[in-house]
Amino acid sequence: MKKLYTIFTVCIAILLTSCQEYSYIENELHGFWQVTRVENIQTGESTEAQADLYYSFQRSMVMLNYKSPTKPSGQMMTQYITTFDLSTDSITMGDFRINMEYDKKVAIEALHKFGIYDEYTTFAWDIEKKHTLILTSDKARITLRKY
């Protein structure tokens, strides 16, 4: 009986430890977010998203999705992928690659529409009312809505 109790206790401890792998802040951030506004802090320029721009956060990976309004319907989105480091108040991402072609780095100019102006960028992040995400760096402020 004592052996069974020990095994049961170890199993419960393992389950509780594995459930803590996703912290509260990660669960809040994870998912699909649509870019609604990008503000360039340096120039003061602010633009509403003109195309379908999305950030998708999963575990330690972020994928940027872009569908040009001029692309024929049925064609896949352009996708850029990288990892990110998350803390309670900031997120750092960089070294973006073209999805499925990991040996090809993304030109930084292609990321400007997402509010990313440097190869590595650290954003302060804040979630308002559980459906609006604000990412703020020294060069941009990006507003996203939960999709």
Q: Considering the entire predicted model, what is its pTM?
A: 0.76
The reported pLDDT for the residue numbered 1 is 61
| Number of residues assigned to the chain | 147
The reported pLDDT for the residue numbered 147 is 82
List Cα–Cα distances, 108 to 97, 131, 141, 146, in angstroms: 11, 28, 17, 25
The reported pLDDT for the residue numbered 20 is 43
The reported pLDDT for the residue numbered 68 is 72
The CATH fold of domain 24-146: Lipocalin (2.40.128)
- In 3D space, the residue among 30, 19, 38, 23 whose CA is nearest the CA of residue 130 turns out to be 30
Q: What whole-number distance in Å separates Cα of residue 126 and Cα of residue 16?
A: 28
* Per-residue pLDDT tens listing for the chain (147 residues): 655 555 555 445 555 444 444 454 567 888 999 999 999 998 888 888 766 899 999 888 999 998 876 666 656 678 899 999 988 889 999 999 988 777 888 999 999 999 999 999 999 999 888 899 999 999 999 999 998
